[in-house]
Every structure is written in structure tokens, then in C-alpha cells.
Chains A and B, each alone.
Chain A
């Protein structure tokens, strides 16, 4: 089991309020990703759940037991750190076994568990080396191994992939996803990378300034962001926000349209926005255009496949009206009147 419930959790650092009050329910077996810009409190929130920081108020329930007063080890959680945080003076085997030794488990059971974890994570060939002799990806695997053997109620990941290079990051992302499918244990994963969030999560918590902006499935957040912040944060490239004359047409202060929902035409068409291409990025599978639109300003356009335009060309843009997001003066989404 691994159901984690936060009730009105708050956190002060000195006089600074970093988390005003958060309510959240993570169901058993869910893969939940905390995502947000740096300084939004996502790591702090994870550390509060882990018990590495004390809460300033509220309750944290793990399987319906309030753990606020419990030390980290008693909470039955495992954590994987951004820096891996392996014990440099111990071999891989001892790194993984350390938690079990601390729990007073007998040697035979420890060996069995360590060997099992080593097999799952393919650590066999370097089990007797020290962390200093391993590559970044191998170290991260060891850190995950150390987390697995304790058979925790939930795994906590604190930006585990951000020290890896891009190719390895994609590979480890898949491995973590596999691991979740295999173990079916609750996982809470902190990242600032919204691609990681979208690909890994069953549910995403978007945090901003210590507040939950939205909690939902990745596609929920993509299709129906609750406000401008979530709309701008989820999706890559970022959603375009349009104010002024062209927004007034929709009788709202701001409208948002994702780069992939802008139709593009090189011939003049009625009602279209006229724009001049600044930069065209040809990726092969996609083409990203950064254009300067008349009366609007900078817009990003994503076109599937190849498109033969270059710097200085004039293009005509038509937003997909069904995918248009309308925001009120406070930046909240206005749901279409039915």
C-alpha cells in the first residue's frame, strides 16, 4: 500500500512562507509528478513527505497514518536524489545493502534482496565497485537499486535525471517507467522538465509559488489547463498568448493557442493573421517557426513535417478555433458557455 494524503501542509523557512497550504491525494500505485519552475516549492514538498524537512502546519498521512512526527526511516519511503547521494566509501553492494543492514536484517536475506535488485537493474558487472568508478547512468541505477531493496510504500524521486546527458535521460526515463509498471508502487517524482512530467506521469501536480495550480492527468492539463500559468507551462513549445485586438474578437482579454494548433498558409487567406518569419527551425519531423505577427507580436508555430519557408517570408496563420483557450483578466480559463 502507498496512499499519501497531504492536508493543509504548509512550510516556512524562517519567516519566508514557501508553501502556504497544500491539499493533495496520491492514490496507491499512482505515478505522480510534481512539476513547476525552479523555486516553486516542489522539492520542498517532496522533502516534507520524506521527512527530511519538518512541516510548519498540516498533516501528512501515509496509508491513513499521520507521519508528521515520524523520522524519515519510519515512514517507509525510499528516495532517489538528484546527486545520487551514494556512499562513496562503500561498494555498490554495500550501498544497496546499507538500508537493510540498518533495519537489522540477517545476512542471507540481505544478499538475496541485493542480488535480486542487481538483476532487475543489471548491476551485476559492477556490484563490487565503488561509486567513483561508475558512470552517471550506472550511479543512478545504483541509487534506484538502493531504493528498491527496502520495498518502500512509495518511491520519491528528486529530479533524478537532471545530471544525465540527453540520450541517457530518455533511456533512464523509460527504465523508470518500466520499473513502475513492474513494481506498481506509488511513485512521486519531482522535475522541472515538463516533457518528463508528460511522459512519466499518471497524474501531474503543477506547482507555482508553493501552490497547486492544477492536479490532473497529462492530457487533462494539456487540453484543459485551469489557468494561464498551467497553459503556458505544459506543452512544448509554449502556448502563444494573444492580447489586444485579436483577443477582443473573442470577447476576452487574453486568448491562448498552442503552436501546433495554428494553421499556416503561404498564400493570402481571408481573416488570417499576417506574420513575418523570424527563425525557421527545420527538425525534419517538425518545423518550428518563430514569427512576428502583425498587431500581435511574437508567435511560435509548429508544423508537422517539412515546410519550405525561411527568414523574412510572409505567412498567413489561422488558429484552430476549437483548440483556442480563453482567459479572463485574472488569467483563469473561461470555459465555453454551453
Chain B
């Protein structure tokens, strides 16, 4: 028997879902609204929601005061660089763990995840010293390396999960067809795992884009990404809520747009019809 759902129940559940979504989205919305307020309106009590004097002066000031595009370019470099490097290492690693597991595979996966349980600040000093001695401080290369290493366990885990769902038979068929290991991965495994790889790439870009701890601690000017750009508006001399919001909105806009346009690709299943 099909499950019966009453109309009231449907309305209640739908309303609940919208409410939950709104609560999650609210801080972003509030930041967006604040970015169009004057500094005075931004502080006003009670806060005004929509009925204030809309202004774009914050954006003008922010763009005037600091070079947004240089920070943005650094963010692009860091997120794409660390993701590319991550894929290069994670695809073979996940392939190995998914298709020729040993009795240590499980343990290796858990160990990798456990490294994410350690607070990054715990290794800040040694890493800072290494960076200083190797001349990596405030370099894009140094940051790409650190972000790549920080996110590697997550990339491997995600790819491993996707690869495991790919039937071994198909890879074996490629082997029988004479594909070398590289060609098997490139022509058979990767195309079949595209939805998985796409969502892994997207997640990693978002994580790297928003990463603040390492980017703030290991950069000053040259390699500073948008997180540092935002942080520069929360200074000890006093907070400028409206300008901070404008800077934040500009910092997250690219990543939100990217996420919006790629969500369709993320849910597409490609392995349909391969087996049975």
C-alpha cells in the first residue's frame, strides 16, 4: 500500500523545510543586506530589515581601499592549485584502495581521517618554522601545498567512496581489452566517476576558498587570498560592519555562483545501465 500523506501534513513539512532553509541562509542574507547599509544603519537598534537607506558606498570604499582582484586572483590560484594537486595524488590513491584493497586499507583510511581530528593550531608553530626556513611564507606555492595537504584526506575519502560503487567487472573488461593502468583510469574509471569527481572538486574548491586559519597565519600581502581581504576590515581600531559585510559579500560571491551553476552536474548519475 502506498503511504498516505495528508495535505495538512504536506504543508507542515514543506513549511518546516523552508523555515530550516531560511534559518541556515539568514546570516548570508543579513550580511548581504548589511553591505548596503550605512555604518550607522548597520549598528541601529532595533535593526532595520529592509527599510533603510540603500547605498553602495561600502562597495566603493572597499574597492578603493584595497585591491579586490589581487586577493581574488590569489584565492583562485590557491583553490584551483590545491585541488589539482589533490586530484593528482588522490585519484591513484583512491583507485588503489577501492580496487585492490589490502587488510590495511581500512586502517589507512581511518588514520587519514584521524589527521583531520587534530586542531590545526597544534602544528602551527612547526609548520610556520618550516615555511620560514624554506622561504615559503607568503608564497602561493607554499599555501597551495598546505591547503592540498589539509584537504587530501577528504578528497581521498570521497573519491574512494565513489570509486567503490563502480563495478570491478568494467575495469577488468578494460584490462582484457588491453588498456594499461593509466588508460584504464583515464578512459574508463574517470569518465564513469565524473559526478563523483565533480562534487569532490567543487567541495575542495569551496573548502580551500574559505580556509582562513592557514591563509591568515602564513600570508601577509603577496599570497593573501580573500579571507585575508575580509579580515583586514575587522581591525582593532573598531569594526566597520557595513564595510566588512561588503568585503565578505564580494569574497563569497564567486564561490556561491560556482556552486549554483554546478549543482546540476553534481547530481547526474552516469553509471546507469552499466551492469544488469
A87:B175 contact, CB within 8 angstroms: no
A73:B179 contact, CB within 8 angstroms: yes
B176:A73 contact, CB within 8 angstroms: yes
B172:A85 contact, CB within 8 angstroms: yes
Contacts between chains A and B (CB distance < 8 A), count: 83
B188:A102 contact, CB within 8 angstroms: no
CB of A134, distance to nearest CB on chain B (Å): 8
Bound together, the chains give a CA A133 to CA B272 distance in angstroms of 10
Among residues of B, the one whose C-beta sits closest to the C-beta of A149 is B177
Q: Which residue of the partner chain, among A88, A98, A163, contacts B274 with CB atoms under 8 Å?
A: A88
- B169, B173, B191, B276, most chain A CB atoms within 10 A: B173
B192:A89 contact, CB within 8 angstroms: yes
Against A, the Cβ 8 Å flags (1 = close, 0 = not) of B185-196 are 001100110100
Among residues of A, the one whose C-beta sits closest to the C-beta of B274 is A88
- Give the size of the chain A interface in residues (CB under 8 angstroms): 30
Specify which chain A residues have a CB less than 8 angstroms from the CB of B194 in the assembled complex: 89
CB of A22, distance to nearest CB on chain B (Å): 21
Among residues of B, the one whose C-beta sits closest to the C-beta of A76 is B178
Specify which chain A residues have a CB less than 8 angstroms from the CB of B187 in the assembled complex: 98
Specify which chain B residues have a CB less than 8 angstroms from the CB of A77 in the assembled complex: 176
A87:B174 contact, CB within 8 angstroms: yes
- B170, B177, B178, B179, most chain A CB atoms within 10 A: B177
B176:A79 contact, CB within 8 angstroms: yes
Q: Which residue of the partner chain, among B175, B177, B180, B272, contacts A88 with CB atoms under 8 Å?
A: B272
Would you give 5 A-B contacts (Cβ < 8 Å), ordered by A? A88-B273, A98-B174, A102-B178, A133-B273, A150-B177
- Residues on B lying within 8 angstroms of A by beta carbon are 167, 169-170, 172-180, 183, 187-188, 191-192, 194, 270-276
12 additional contacts, CB 8 Å, given A81-B172, A132-B274, A134-B273? A71-B175, A72-B172, A72-B176, A84-B275, A85-B167, A85-B173, A87-B192, A88-B170, A98-B177, A102-B179, A150-B177, A150-B178
